[in-house]
A and B are shown apart, each in its own frame.
Chain A
Amino acid sequence: MSTLFENNRKKYWKSIDELQSNVSASTPEFPENYDKPVEHKDGVSRRSFLALLSASMAVTATACRRPDHKLVPTTQAVEYQTPGMPLHYATSFSFGGVASSIVVKSLDGRPLRVMGNKLDDSSKGGASTQAVASILGLYDPDRIRRSRVNKGDASTQVALYKISEKVKASISAGKEVRLLIEKHSSPSISRLVQLVESKFPQVKFVQYDPNYSYTASSLYSKLLGIDGEIVPDISKANYIVSIEADLVGTDSHSNYHSANLATSRNVSLSKPTMSKLVAVESTMSLTGINSDERVKISPNQIDDFIAAILKEISSVKATIPVNVSSSISGELATKAKEIAKELLKNGENSAFTVGSHLSESAQKMGITINYLLGTIATGKSFDPSRVSPTSKNLNNRIQELVADLTAKKVETIVFCNVNPEYCASQNLKDLIAKVDNKFALNIYEDETAKISTISIPMAHSLETWGDSATFLGDLLIQQPLIAPLAESSLGLIDFTLQLFSSIDSTLFTETKSMDFVQKTWEQGLNLTGNPFKTKWEAILKDGLFKNTQAAEIVVTPNTTEFSSFGTFSKINSQYIGCVLPSLSIVDGSFANNGWLQEVADPVTKITWGNVISVSQKTAKALDVTQNDVVRIETTSGNIEAPIWIQPGLADNVLSTTTGYGRISGGIVMQNIGSNAYKLATSENKTGYFSIKNVVKTGRREKIASTQSHHSLDDPTFSGGRRNDIVKELSLDIYKKGQKEVDAAMKMHAPEIGTKGKDKFLIPLNIVDNYEYKGHRWGMTIDLNTCTGCSACVIACQSENNIPVVGKKEVLTGREMAWIRLDRYYSGDPENPQTSLQPMLCQHCENAPCENVCPVAATTHSPEGLNEMTYNRCVGTRYCLNNCPYKVRRFNFLNYHTEKRSPLDFVFNPEVTVRMRGIMEKCTFCVQIINASKYHAKDQGLSRVPDGTITTACQSVCPTSAIVFGDLNDAKSQVSIARQSERSFLVLQELNTRPSVSYLARVRNGQSNAIDAQNHSASKH
């Protein structure tokens, strides 16, 4: 990894005039020596995107702004850069105050793909779907490009000047000024805020996040004296209880939890133990899907359920007096007792997590349970030193803001990358409307920018300097990979620096965000002088600074606080509403991102829009069927959305997701879903609420779901259960040893080429098998650790130029994703078990697709890849028809029709952009394989060493469920994984001989699939 930090290399600094002369029209398209080894002289290749960008800037920019500081254009050749060869930079991605370090692949100055950073322990080398998709956001043509004052375009300088005039006026008039910023964990922003607020007491920064709840952090502080909310480490627990805490789903630390869950699920024949995850929930969450046991509960029973557990635990562990009573009875009471028993058995090696949208009582009881169990201790699952930095100091100033706005104290308000006009409650929106001066620094001309008189484009996180802290105490750096594409855009730090230095020029010693961030780190890390410079280079290379001094925090419980847990509030309406964040576009910030709109929700498989999920029984009670549009009416607002019948959902719950129903800000987000924030009664956004009325509108709306409801033992499968598609084991079988495991794994599929036990399946070959003399590429996917987060889907889309097709095409069934996540239900439709299976091209040795192509456009490579020759494809789709896995994707239309600049820059130049009429599918990232092969050859190696190739999907997987490598190398990770006792091939009875093998999921508890297997085995 190299760095972009070139501050001290003055020779690289370019003035605009020089730059302009560099890209004059007389420059040849290719440098004279383009085919010779490149020496980095002046001269422009047509790939020099940055230079061209800067040139356009030079043409249009006014002379007064930022004249002296530039990122290095490729004309001046960044260190290590060879044209056409990608460079990787470490930076960070932050959303909702939670940051993770990422590695970004950059080609000729153009950021192309986001990968996880293995050095970052808070994300465990994974990258979230939002982080990976942020590349598309960078090149989004809908981003604001020019500043606006009232209705006309203006230069950013003018806009800034006008804002500063108003801020100055407000300050001198004794009025208040508020800057609404997104939640952050940035030490630099904190320092900035502190500098500004101490100088101007009337100015306050308010962190705004519609989905964040401060309940937990205030409870931690009140009960245990811990400043902030503890981020649990579930890898430390053998028994994990999740009360609607969607640890691997909507939780902002889902990558961390997923990786830890995977660690705790590490099971082998020599160590047949693994953690048990019990999910107690009313909605069907991703955590529920991944749980070993799922307990369905009505929202009104949750508090009592926890109370029952707490009661059991406190009766045994009476370290602090607890006064709690529960009205739960029947089956759930037994279940609560059972859970309590297990928790007590595992003691400090357990974890009890409670969803942040649940009531204060629930969360208080959750903390109490953890405290009693002893899990809140250094080195245990709830390590008190691992506190979410955003939750510290109770940064909750929203109530204050509401009070100030009500008292009409605030005259000027600046929105910085927040969109309250979309997601705030009606009350807050009304209060904001009354504020005199409203300005916006947003990425899009969104709802909030629309109501602001002045709007300045916000720079993307890949365009600006910044930093973040993680709950582990690590500091992450955010370095820009590209100059702002909209020349007039500013990051939050630059904006604040420029705004307040124009009011008081002595306020800051630094004028640039880079200097400011560097200074923060220099002060914060207490490393000055030369050692810091060295350190700084290392930090930029790694992307982070590791905190090695683990703070010992002594927990001092405030015993009196535990006496009461309040009265458990119940929702009395017949139907209970539930609003939860969308897994992809979260609070709507990513609504204009086509990749995230089109990635199917791993649970419902719905794309492009939100629905109202109900259980089968509730649908019957409401007399509605799937696709019927209903209106939910509450005291605060109404939404209309189509009904979706969701197995596993508690009865009488109507569940929907946030982030949809955006009105303005881009073309992609138009007319998609409805705004669930309208149902929020307070600034407390997600969770349950009472419904006044559910009205059938009589309309029907098609839901763009990529998969229909089919469970593995669905009678519509008729003719046979298909349990050998997704194999599962139970831990009990595992404990019995190899023989039992083998028997369970081979239940249905006989060995290929030999006489199977089932005499009717003996595949024959009429041609000789391929011989693989060099490499033979293969992949294994561990179903035991795959949580279904779908980051792989986006990473693949990013690397392989996969188009976004839109809702209409998804409805027709033409989504293009090369990896899909198949979801299968089994068992009771009221509370089914769910299995997930990423499905991609299996690169069969006996590929059915290869035989049938009349023009030989899909062929077998000597290294076992099933290759697509796009040029040759005439599009008969016969290969698609004959593919038993149906992983081939056809370009029915020209999907890359969006010509608006700079969207074309998102394309990976190493991969062909396919036109209509062409078949495509997973290539195992052949471009990455080939690059690694050339690299190995350069180094004089005859083979690519194991582990050097990381496919796009693999590069973001937080649980390392995907392993790729050489099957001809017996020592490679993939060969070892393929030899695992859990390994199986999908549809191997067809004798396709896939190169992708799956590792069976192991359930700690009863598995429906296993029962079904035994059932069907007994039939034969």
Chain B
Amino acid sequence: MAIEEQKVVSHSRTVSLGDNTPALPEELRDPLVLGNPSIHDISEKIASITDSPMNLKFLLAIGATASLAGWGVLTIVYTIATGIGVWGLNNPVGWGWDITNFVFWIGIGHAGTLISAILYLFRQKWRTAINRAAEAMTIFAVICALIFPLLHTGRPWLAIYWLLPYPNQMQMWVNFRSPLLWDVFAVSTYGTVSALFWFLGLIPDLATVRNYVKGPVKKMAYWLTSLGWTGSNRAWHHYEVAYMILAGISTPLVLSVHTIVSFDFAVSVLPGWHTTIFPPYFVAGAVFSGFAMVMTLLIITREILDLKDYITLKHLDNMNKIILTTGMMVGYAYTMEFFIAWYSGNPYELSVFINRATGDYAWSYWAMFICNVVSPQVYWFKNLRRNIPLMFIISIFVNIGMWFERFTIISTSLHHDFLPGSWGYYSPTWVEVSIFAGTFGIFLTLFLLFAKFVPVIAISEVKAIMPTAQPHHHNEHH
């Protein structure tokens, strides 16, 4: 698009409909923060959210999500007390909604790490407005995800520590050949690093809030969590180094976690699982679903918390581009799986894939395909990429589609595998549905609490990308 068409008014308060392509010099791109707030305005805006009283809207919202979470917890207790027979799993289909939900939630988390770590390393400034929320989402998603590998075991009270390699007098060790064990390491590392990364990034902002809030309890809480942040040059220096290191550590995790999760399937002998395409396919899928979830949450957050100037259409547009890209990547994977199933000459694999598209679970396959591959195609058009209601719908579609992707992979491969004599069918019970709904309750409750009590936008980072923070060298880039 030609530069002439841009409304280059970076210092004005008018909303630009300009492009943000890297081909443009930075000054000519859309501003990352609209309304041209002052540095103080930013602190004021974000910190005030944490200090304002809880309004009815918020209470209603958190009441609803907490009730859902409570129902989820009740059904979890019911499952543990009775046995996973209360689910619909059976003998050919040993995994169903449980592992589907696990992979789904782990995938959701990926956007956070990608935005916070990889985009940080690539100096993508537009990330600052959304990285905090995305990282929080990662952690909450990992929490939700972790429920399932534990809960799906027959005896979770033993699985909770038997899956860890701890020295014991019986010399009983875990089986290092099992992908499930790799999962334990991968996911726990991922969870830990994500939490640290998030918390580290929070420290300066918590200090800002500490200085802002008035109540003694709140003040104490923020004082404690900001770990005595002074904002000194020295502190900033250490902070920047630590942040960079953690970003470096997190980056491979974006690839490793979902790669290892995909090994759960790829390492098995099952047709439909045993495919080498899984690691990249799962990572792409994870980023895809993660961005969709971030999108869903941000659209709501910017509406409710009135952050339209901070989470701008430019951000959303960028994210939609990523959704379009990763959506086509998974689309490619879906197609390639079929090609390989035919090309390999493996009759079992071909049978599984034909069964996916035409068999008992065809509805699930086509739901996945339409949601993930067809629906993001609208993002080829810029005006659609910037259409809030549409992108909200698409983001929900993608969330649904990606859930169905995991469900399709798990159920269709298990229910019809090698020997037709063992074939079966699986459908979930109300308990499984309730637990899944419950994890949404947990996720949303945590997110609402986060949005209320934690600076929902990285104040210090946003300040850093404000034009006022930039040296005004119009002719050179840095």
Contact = CB atoms under 8 A, between A and B. Distances in A.
B421 A822 contact: yes
B93 A878 contact: no
B153 A917 contact: yes
A884 B349 CA distance: 13
A848 B350 contact: no
A822 B355 contact: no
A889 B423 CA distance: 14
A854 B93 contact: no
Given A878-B178, A881-B268, A854 B418 contact: no
A987 B82 CA distance: 37
Interface in B339-364: 341, 344-355, 358-359
B91 A815 contact: yes
B163 interface: yes
Interface string B4-27: 000000000000000000000000
Contact of A823 (B86, B421, B424): B421
B359 A716 contact: yes
Contacts of B270: 881-882, 884
Interface string A809-841: 100111100001011100000000000010100
A872 B349 CA distance: 33
A84 to B, nearest CB: 26
B159 interface: yes
B178 A719 contact: no
A286 B423 CA distance: 22
Contact of B93 (A708, A813, A876): A813
A760 B420 contact: no
A851 B178 contact: yes
Given A851-B178, A885-B422, A917-B154, A878 B94 contact: yes
A875 B159 contact: yes
B315 interface: no
B159 A718 contact: no
Given A719-B351, A852-B178, A855-B175, A708 B358 contact: no
A860 to B, nearest CB: 12
A707 B424 CA distance: 7
B423 A708 contact: yes
A881 B421 contact: no
Interface stretch (B69-77, B179-187, B318-326): B179-187
Contact of A814 (B85, B172, B352, B417): B85
A850 to B, nearest CB: 8
Nearest to A859: B175
A1001 interface: no
A848 B179 CA distance: 12
Contacts of A721: 347
A892 B89 contact: yes
B155 interface: yes
A720 B348 contact: yes
Given A719-B354, A824-B421, A881 B95 contact: yes
Contacts of B163: 854-855, 874
Nearest to B265: A881
A874 B158 contact: yes
A668 interface: no
A874 B159 contact: yes
Contacts of A874: 153-156, 158-159, 162-163
A823 B422 CA distance: 10
Interface string B411-454: 00010011111111110000000000000000000000000000
Given A812-B90, A880-B91, A890-B154, A851 B83 contact: no
Contacts of B158: 874
Contacts of A725: 418-420
Majority secondary structure of chain B interface residues (helix, strand, loop or mixed)? loop
Contacts of A986: 419
A889 B91 contact: yes
Interface string B155-194: 1101100110000000011110111110010000000000
Interface in B250-274: 264, 267-270
Contact of A917 (B84, B88, B425): B84
Contacts of A992: 269
Interface residues of A, number: 61
Nearest to A809: B85
Given A856-B173, A873-B154, A892-B85, A848 B268 contact: yes
A717 B175 contact: no
A884 B173 CA distance: 26
B420 A717 contact: yes
A716 B425 CA distance: 15
Interface string A575-604: 000000000000000000000000000000
Contact of A719 (B82, B180, B347): B347
A631 interface: no
B463 interface: no
Nearest to B424: A813
Contacts of A881: 94-95, 268, 270, 414
A877 interface: yes
A855 B419 contact: no
Nearest to B149: A876
Contacts of A987: 418-419
B152 interface: yes
A710 interface: yes
A731 interface: no
Contacts of A880: 91, 94
A718 B358 contact: yes
A752 interface: no
A873 B95 CA distance: 16
Contacts of A851: 175, 177-178, 267
B422 A839 contact: yes
A334 interface: no
B150 to A, nearest CB: 10
B92 interface: yes
A702 to B, nearest CB: 12
A839 B419 contact: yes
B344 A707 contact: no
Nearest to A990: B269
A918 interface: yes
A463 to B, nearest CB: 36
Nearest to B94: A877
A814 B94 contact: no
A893 B92 contact: no
Nearest to A894: B83
Nearest to B87: A892
A877 B426 CA distance: 15
A886 interface: yes
B355 to A, nearest CB: 7
Contacts of B85: 809, 814, 892-893, 916
A722 B83 contact: no
B268 A718 contact: no
Contacts of A890: 89, 91, 94, 154
Contact of B84 (A839, A872, A892): A892
A824 to B, nearest CB: 7
Contact of A710 (B92, B181, B347, B420): B420
A853 interface: yes
Contact of A856 (B83, B95, B174): B174
A339 B174 CA distance: 65
A891 interface: yes
Contact of A886 (B84, B156, B350, B422): B422
Contacts of A854: 163, 174-175, 178, 180-181, 184
Contacts of B92: 813, 886
B83 A893 contact: yes
Interface in B348-390: 348-355, 358-359
A606 B153 CA distance: 30
Cβ-closest 10 pairs across A and B: A875-B154, A917-B154, A720-B347, A822-B421, A719-B350, A813-B90, A893-B85, A892-B85, A877-B94, A886-B422
6 contacts: A852-B180, A854-B175, A854-B181, A876-B153, A884-B419, A887-B422
Given A814-B85, A848-B268, A877-B94, 6 more contacts: A822-B420, A822-B422, A854-B180, A891-B83, A892-B85, A892-B154
